[in-house]
Chain A
Amino acid sequence: MSDLEKILAGCTDSPPNILAALQKVQAALGYVPHEAVPKIAALLRVTDSDVAGVLSFYHDLRTEKPGKHVVKVCLGDSCRAMNCEETLAAFEKKLGCKLGETTKDGRYTLEKVYCLGNCALSPSVMVGEDLHARVTPRSAPNILKEYK
């Protein structure tokens, strides 16, 4: 049994839930490789374009391997009111990569997110599943120290 078959065991309802299946693949592999699309489609008994369509629709689903830590900077309205652009710029400078990119050492991926529900304590940043509040350009580099 291939890795994908193992991951997708139990996802063979008819009609299949393509999103749930892709979330499972991403949870196991960290991303959904483009080359896996035909295999996933065959296992779910749908077309390649069905799978590719769902894969490209959702911001959470990624087709490239992410860094060890995913740093999500909130650019929601409340965080904008509290100058999140400066916080984002501080991360870009510290990491030496732009929004949507992964650092050369593969340690961090920098992404944007629209709202983490921490709007009373803006600007917010999420690293992995950890929420950080009131992240200023000055405190931004300190947060990264917790994630080696």
Chain B
Amino acid sequence: MNVYVPNDACARAVGADRVAEALAKQPGVTVVRTSSRGAFFLEPLVEIDTPSGRAAYTNVDAKQAGGLLKKKPTPLSEIPFLAKQTRFTFANAGVTEPLSLEQYGFKALEKARGLDPQKIVDEVKTANLRGRGGAAFPVGVKWQTTKDTAADRKYVVANADEGDPGTYSDRMILEGDPYRLIEGMAICAHAVGAKQGYVYVRSEYPAGIRKLRAAIGHALEAGLLGPESFELKVAVGAGAYICGEETSLLESLEGKRGLVRPKPPFPAIQGLWQKPTVINNVVSFATIPDIISRGGAWHASIGTATSKGTMPLQLAGAIRQGGLVEVPFGISLEEAIYDFGGGLPKGSKFKAVQVGGPLGSIFPEALLKTKICFDDFIKNGGILGHGGIVVYDQRTDMVALARHLMQFTADESCGKCTPCRVGSTRAKEILDVILKGEGTEADLALLEELGDTMKSTSLCALGGLAPEPVRTAIQYFGKEFRRK
């Protein structure tokens, strides 16, 4: 019998390899290595086939392997965390073997290559797909711009520099369904007239890099990629958060310091080596195959008025059931944290939640009714960003957290804009003073002024948005910043 064991880096970090090894020694067992479904709190999650679909053994220890399969497994339909999700982009996660071409199929690419390029761009526009990397820019607009720009060479680049702390959806695609990314990029290449592409992956994801390289190799052998159609290469980052910003990423791809470029010109017109370049996030590209197979109208029928489709939320921090939750836009932050996340662990009480990573906002309990969609977050003074949701409990010192966030910005600023480069360090120093209980109202006023200067005079979103979590922390937890 087939026994499915995840081969995902996080599942392996809690012992999936030892479990796989122990199970392989059982008579009659064939171990099949899948990736993770994203229910990380249940890993290692071992599955078997039953007449009514897959059923699972949760939190398996290698020592239990002997008697495990005699026990009654839990049908996946009885695990609410998974059963209540709407899986499209992550449909294969934990189900298929990530490198099996046969299981993946590449049907959407076959269809797309038979279509007129403009028809593909139109489908993406109809789908109203907004970029999942954080900026939520309409994907179809980027594609149309690059398509309409005449050039001897064009590029398609996937941004897999998933630097926002608290996010891991790109990592799960790289490790769990790399062909979906490759297919999305190849469809884009056909649509805009590009023959070359790059996936820029952060170095912190070695397992994802290996999987992606192997997948590209298989796709090349199978004739799905190639110099005549689309040549795809992997570039590995070098530990700089700023290289997740699209123009910094392009500089880094060219081998330079990752300094951001002023916009315009936009990458869609002058990108990599000054050539028209579509640059999208991994999840954005991974959504494309379904849009081509099912149609743009299908995608546009899911979600809220201006946030279409599904969003992979990544639950993290002080949460009982941490993991990836793919749901249509429109559920509340509260539902995400309590219905899917199961609330906070024993002994922990909710204090705040950070959504949108280091460029997002710190929300108090009063804002938990906020709907998960781009506009509601903006309305409430935040951003949904890349969908990272980090929960903090009652023990969190908000001043220390604010200081940490400014330290992060100081470490990761590319240095091009003075307000971001110097301002982040000065803000950190002010927060040090407040942390010691020596702060005054003048310090808080200065902090706000610094933040305003960074926001209005920085070229990119790092300088422009990094003051936000600190500003919102002061707005909602002001008392802590007035400690003596």
Contacts and interface: CB of A to CB of B under 8 A. Distances in A.
Contact of B316 (A16, A18, A81, A126): A81
- What class of interface size applies to chain A in its complex with B? 35 or more
Interface in B210-241: 235-241
A121 to B, nearest CB: 5
B316 A23 contact: no
Given A58-B239, A59-B238, A117-B167, A129 B206 contact: yes
A81 B391 contact: yes
Interface residues of B, number: 60
Interface string A93-120: 0000000000000000000011111111
A115 B358 CA distance: 11
A53 B257 contact: yes
B333 to A, nearest CB: 16
A121 B36 CA distance: 13
A144 B205 CA distance: 21
Contact of A78 (B165, B240, B255): B165
Max chain B Cβ within 10 angstroms of own Cβ: one of A16, A20, A75, A120: A120
Contacts of B319: 120
Contact of A132 (B13, B314, B357, B401): B13
Nearest to B172: A117
Contacts of B322: 119-122
A80 B13 contact: no
B401 A80 contact: yes
A58 B240 contact: yes
B256 A18 contact: yes
B316 A122 contact: yes
A17 B13 contact: no
B9 interface: yes
B166 A78 contact: yes
Contact of A121 (B10, B237, B391, B401): B10
15 contacts: A54-B257, A58-B238, A74-B165, A79-B165, A81-B318, A113-B239, A114-B412, A117-B162, A117-B168, A117-B171, A118-B13, A119-B390, A120-B314, A131-B12, A131-B13
